[in-house]
Amino acid sequence: MRILVGMILAIGTIAAATPLQAQTYDPNYPVCMQVYGKGANYITCGYTSIGQCQASASGRGAQCLTNPYYAGPYQRKRRVY
């Protein structure tokens, strides 16, 4: 019984120690920029328009794309009486 409990704890510890990946796309911004570089390719979202993103990507190995996970602006639900 002790061996079984020990193995379950060991497997749980190993599973909890594995690194998790962060979410690539930020759902708060409609435009993202994908940057290509030596050994480091990443996506950063934080742009409110394609023009803003293109200005930041100018002269770099990067491209702008629309965020597929953009949630849109928060809108309160109106009560209907």
pLDDT number for residue 15:
62
Give yes or no for a contact between 67 and 44, defined as CB atoms under 8 angstroms apart: no
Q: Does the pLDDT value for residue 3 go beyond 60? A: yes
What pLDDT digit, counting tens, does each position of 29-69 carry?
Answer: 999 999 998 888 999 999 999 999 999 999 999 999 999 99
Domain boundaries, the chain: 21-71
Question: Bigger pLDDT: 7 or 56?
Answer: 56
Task: Give the closest residue to 65 by CA, choosing from 81, 50, 80, 75.
Answer: 50
pTM for this prediction: 0.61
For every residue of 9-37, DSSP letters joined together read HHHHHHHHHSPPPPPSS-TT-SEEEEE--
pLDDT number for residue 53:
96
| Sheet architecture: strand order including 62-66 | 42-47, 31-35, 62-66
pLDDT number for residue 64:
96
pLDDT number for residue 25:
82
